[in-house]
Structure 1
């Protein structure tokens, strides 16, 4: 009973603090105010404004995937294939360079358009293996941080940096290294403990 009340009190305090911080940010930061106003534009039927102009990119990505469902247009090929599939009035097409939007701005669409169903299947298989690996550390709170960070990095409903870009690749590899080290250390610790118990 007492722990539920304490949890509710902390949750209420965190909610109040969040509302106060958001209100202060809206009043004091022009950039934050512009972002909130742009997001709220969805209520007025201006969904593309709320999504920072991403609807044409996502529509073009869907057409690109439909044309190349097996293996996509190639890693980092999105920008070069974009003009071929874009509408005539697409704001992201750069006619002078013959390119379009740099990437799909959504991880599942990016994997589908650049690597097709084959790439997405392999990515999901790797995610499944990592999930199994993460289960080794479930009772070790110190090991949770890299796994949570990996989950946030690849959460499928986010809009992302280019998945195959250098910053994303470095961050992903760094987090994978930390997560796998934690799992490996846990496995070694379990093996040593079972040897000592015998």
Structure 2
């Protein structure tokens, strides 16, 4: 009678295959040049995709399930059509490359590199660590008045991203806070949960000092959704902790400055008395809508929005915003996108691109929520992973109402979609996903004897 066979461990199997993705996050912690182009993190994301492909060939693994291939491949439909209609061949190639990186290649690589919930949690904690670092830099900028310029003072927290990517730190901190809250609401050890709670509370300060209304709204919506999905008891405990932290931040530490209060109040005045940034946003949205009306099916082509903007925008558009501070000189930053991902896709890719992209995101969200529901009903492990994955999806889809892709922090969007894709398409069925290495036939026969 033969003995049960155990796959031989491959050399270095103790190392997590998601370490290249962790390296991408680590590179996002480095200061960036003010040019705003592709950076080290983008290059590392390409190497992570290449590393994933090499692993698939070496281990003779099927790349993706049929469902995963369809869900992640849907955006390619609109991209291919829009690339043909781009203002120039170079715009078509570079625009398609960026979209493929963020919405197809990086998410697929993250999905394939994650073996189990341990790898998932490693990436989630890495996102929290990146947020803490960027948040610490941002708070230091506010305290020492070395941040980006805001209402004539260099106090806006932007982390290492600089004033050219003023939303970068806000996005990183928001994502880290969402991950920390998901880890805190799970069924991990009490020590891990309390550490996650502490990280979430600490991240509230740099999020506030980013003065980013879009990040505030996306984070509030997402955290509310996570609390509801986690259950009433956990929701009440977390709400009490947030309320206590808010009292300490605003009352005890004096974070609630007049500028911060004015920024919060401005959220309710976006329709009655909007400031210039809101006026510019409305003008850009109107321009994107006008492009879609004239090119409803395929849009104006990838990277076509800047070319058509002035022909559709109202005279109220200032066309550029002033940026300076945080170690950078004064610069006029041109407004080259509508700052709304849905309208950007609608204007450049038409209904073809928007339907394909939205269908992919909706499928991920539905699958992720179904997995969360099964995990809660069975009271099985992985609730923290489910809440992190669903939270990242909700945050990203909400944030896309006020932002689009662009800047050094863009690659982070692909990592978030990859985490969500793993849970939605592979993680909740509790398959471990580890690769078994087949034994040579002669060794197998010897063991069997």
Deviations 1:72-116 (A, max 9, x none): 1122221121012123453217xxxxxx73111122212211211
Give the one of 237, 246, 249 matched to 1:18. 246
Give the TM-score, by structure 2 length: 0.34
Structure with greater helix percent? 1
SS in 1 for 2:431: helix
| Residue 358 of structure 2 corresponds to residue 124 of structure 1 | yes
Residue in structure 2 matched with residue 79 of structure 1 by the alignment? 306
Distance 2:298 2:239 in 1: 46
Distance 2:395 2:234 in 1: 28
Distance 1:187 1:60 in 2: 44
Question: Contact 1:62–1:109 (CA<8 Å) still a contact in 2?
Answer: yes
Residue in structure 1 matched with residue 396 of structure 2 by the alignment? 153
| Residue 295 of structure 2 corresponds to residue 68 of structure 1 | yes
**Structure 2 gaps, min length 5:** 1-230, 321-333, 376-381, 434-449
Structure with greater strand percent? 2
Residues 39-58 of structure 1 mapped to structure 2, 5 A cutoff: 39=267, 41-42=269-270, 45-49=272-276, 51=278, 53-58=280-285
Residue in structure 1 matched with residue 383 of structure 2 by the alignment? 141
Question: Contact 1:39–1:50 (CA<8 Å) still a contact in 2?
Answer: no
Give the one of 385, 392, 416 matched to 1:175. 416
Larger deviation: 107-116 or 140-149? Answer: 140-149
RMSD: 3.7
Distance 2:408 2:315 in 1: 32
Aligned length, in residue pairs? 180
Deviation, 1:172, is: 2.6
Q: Pick closer, same or farther for the CA change 1:6–1:118 going to 2, 3 Å.
A: closer
Q: Pick closer, same or farther for the CA change 1:155–1:37 going to 2, 3 Å.
A: closer
Distance 1:7 1:156 in 2: 23
Distance 1:40 1:150 in 2: 25
Distance 1:179 1:134 in 2: 7
Distance 2:246 2:266 in 1: 20
Does 1 or 2 have the higher relative contact order (CA < 8 Å, sep 6+)?
2
Distance 1:13 1:134 in 2: 27
Distance 1:124 1:6 in 2: 31
Question: Contact 2:365–2:393 (CA<8 Å) still a contact in 1?
Answer: no
Deviation, 1:21, is: 3.0
Deviation, 1:48, is: 4.7
Q: Pick closer, same or farther for the CA change 1:129–1:92 going to 2, 3 Å.
A: same
